[in-house]
Every structure is written in C-alpha cells, then in structure tokens.
C-alpha cells in the first residue's frame, strides 16, 4: 500500500509557533494562563492542561504576577495594558501576520483614518484587531453589510481577517472602491488555509481514499473533508482510535491530510498505523 501526506497539512506556522512557545514556558514553569483555549483540539488541550496550562475567560481569573500566554489570534491592546497592571509576564504568541494587521489598524487609526475590517465580528482575531483602533472599526462580513456603511469619513483603511475567503474579500473591496473615496487597502489574508485546501484537493484526486485528521467541530477540518469527499472516499478521524484499519486494507493508495489545529503527534500516530497495513 502506498501512502502520501498532503504537502501542507496540520498546524500552520503561527499555530505551531504559539504551541511551541506555550510548551517551552510550561517546561520551565508549572503554571501558565491562556486567555481562551490555545487551540480547538481536545487531545492537545488536555496534554497542555496536564502540563500546567490553565485556560481562563478573563484576566480577572488570573493571579497577579503570574504568566499569561497570548494565543496566535492576538488580543486587543487593553489586554496588554491590564496584564501589565497586574504585574503579569506576557508570553506573546500572536502570529506575526496577525500582529502586522494590528499595527496597520493602530497606525492608521492614529492618523485619523476610519478602519474597516473585512471579517467575522465574533472571531477572536477580529475582536483583537478592533481593540487596536479603540473598538471603532466598521466590520463587514459580506457584500450585504455594505448597504448601511457610513460614508461620512474623510479617509478609510481596509484590512482583512487572515482566514477570509479571497473571493468574498475581492467582491467587498471592489464595491468599497466604488462607494468610498480615499481608501487604502491592505490584503492581509494569510495563504496557509488556501494552501492546505489546495494540497488536499490535489492529493484526493490521486488516491483511492483519503484520511482527514482533525476535531469533529473544527470548521477548517470539515472543509477539508468536504473538499476530499468531492473526489474520493474520505474518512474523517479525530485520532487513531476512530480509524477502522480493516476498512483500509482494500485500497492501494491512501492520502492523508489534517486540519490546522491537529498536532503532529496525532498525525504521526495515524500515519504509522496505516503504514503497518
């Protein structure tokens, strides 16, 4: 049996960096807080909690002078200020690509621009970016949101959530260009999601069956499952325990991919079990 892993699978650069930073800190100190779960993967969260990570929903839950890790999505400016007031050590694992967006929002806000964020207003990354322009950004998720947009500002600066769909982004920016004057656009979409989807699509066309590894509730994993199912029979598993190895024996070529929040060790467990077939 031949096995091939998609050329892009599992953690993106920013998530891997954040997970490594958290792990290294836990190795030297037994207790670190994380504002919100580091990642949407039950097995990974459990492993980090066993090592001493404590997930909290607000800074009030953290002890003064303790350590806090900021996850890859980033946080509003006020979280840094409040953490400092509490004497906390900040381990800043904000993805550098997200940090760049926060800097753009902050710089242009201070220069008097109205910030427009193309993205989902309830997503932590967008909440974080908005917190760098005094929570005054206009947030648009789709073309319909432009119907009621205020046109009375002198100048605008547009940024996008890193995981925004490129087609929707282009549709919105085209319309913004038509209806507003003095607009600066920054396409801040990160290519990691697109690369993973393309690699999964390409591989699923080559193989007899695909295994997609990732949380049942992870939306990017579900998207990979959907893409692969369009081309071949696809098995979605969270861990090796979900995999019915007997069913795979009939295939001669199996492809494997994983969602952006699937740790390497879970991927390796699946790969080595399939290899034994």
List contacts with ligand F3S (CB under 6 A). Answer: 12-15, 72, 95, 97-98, 162, 190, 192-193
Binding-site residues for dimethylallyl diphosphate: 40, 73, 123, 218-220, 261
Rounded Cα distance, 74 and 182, in Å: 28
Helices (H) and strands (E) in the chain, counts: 10, 12
Nearer to ligand F3S, 195 or 208 (CB): 195
Residue 226 CA: distances (Å) to CA of 111, 116, 145, 200, 237: 44, 31, 27, 10, 14
Q: Judge whether 256 and 3 are in contact, CB under 8 Å.
A: yes
Instruction: Give the Cα separation of 146 and 144 in Å (integer).
Output: 5
The smaller minimum CB distance to ligand F3S, of residues 160 and 172, is found at 160
Q: What ranges make up the beta strands (E) of the chain?
A: 2-5, 32-35, 53-56, 67-70, 89-92, 114-118, 138-140, 156-160, 183-185, 209-213, 233-237, 253-258
CA distance 30 to 53: 8
User: Which residue ranges are tagged as binding site for isopentenyl diphosphate?
Assistant: 40, 73, 123, 218-220, 261
Q: Which of 53, 52, 50 is nearest to 36 (CA)?
A: 53
Nearer to ligand F3S, 95 or 126 (CB): 95
**For ligand F3S, which is the closer residue by CB, 97 or 108?**
97
Whether the CB-CB separation of 171 and 144 falls below 8 Å is answered with no
Q: How far is the CB of 101 from ligand F3S (least distance, A)?
A: 9
* Residue number with CB closer to ligand F3S (39 or 243): 39
Q: How far is the CB of 95 from ligand F3S (least distance, A)?
A: 3
Task: Name the active-site residue from 57, 82, 125, 244.
Answer: 125
60 included as an active-site residue: no
Known binding positions for [4Fe-4S] cluster: 12, 95, 190
Residue 274: closest CA among 234, 233, 240, 224: 240
Question: What is the number of the residue whose Cβ is closest to ligand F3S?
Answer: 14
Smallest distance from the beta carbon of 167 to ligand F3S, in angstroms? 17
Find the shortest distance in angstroms from Cβ 44 to ligand F3S. 15
Least distance in Å: CB of 223 to ligand F3S?
13
**Among 97, 99, 230, 238, CA closest to 163:** 97
- Residue ranges at the known binding site: 12, 40, 73, 95, 123, 162, 190, 218-220, 261
| Residues labelled catalytic | 125
């Amino acid at each position: 049996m031949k096995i091939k892993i998609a050329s892009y699978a599992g953690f993106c650069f920013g998530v891997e960096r954040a997970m490594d930073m958290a792990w290294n800190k836990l190795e030297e100190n037994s207790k670190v807080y994380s504002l919100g779960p580091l990642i949407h993967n039950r097995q990974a969260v459990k492993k980090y909690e066993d090592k001493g990570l404590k997930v909290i929903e607000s800074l009030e839950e953290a002890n003064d002078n303790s350590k806090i890790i900021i996850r890859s999505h980033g946080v509003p400016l006020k979280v840094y200020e409040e953490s400092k007031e509490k004497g906390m050590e900040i381990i800043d694992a904000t993805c550098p690509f997200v940090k760049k967006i926060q800097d753009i929002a902050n710089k242009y806000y201070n220069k008097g621009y109205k910030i427009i964020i193309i993205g989902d207003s309830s997503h932590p990354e967008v909440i974080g970016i908005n917190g760098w322009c005094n929570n005054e950004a206009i947030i648009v998720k789709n073309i319909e949101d432009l119907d009621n947009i205020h046109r009375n500002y002198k100048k605008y600066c547009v940024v996008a959530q890193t995981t925004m769909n490129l087609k929707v982004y282009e549709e919105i920016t085209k319309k913004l260009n038509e209806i507003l004057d003095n607009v600066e656009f920054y396409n801040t979409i990160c290519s990691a999601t697109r690369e993973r989807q393309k690699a999964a699509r390409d591989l699923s066309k080559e193989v007899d069956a695909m295994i997609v590894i990732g949380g049942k509730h992870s939306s990017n994993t579900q998207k990979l499952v959907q893409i692969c199912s369009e081309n071949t029979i696809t098995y979605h598993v969270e861990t090796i325990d979900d995999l019915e190895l007997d069913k795979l024996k009939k295939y001669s070529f199996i492809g494997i991919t994983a969602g952006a929040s699937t740790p390497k060790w879970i991927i390796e467990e699946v790969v080595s079990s399939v290899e034994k077939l």
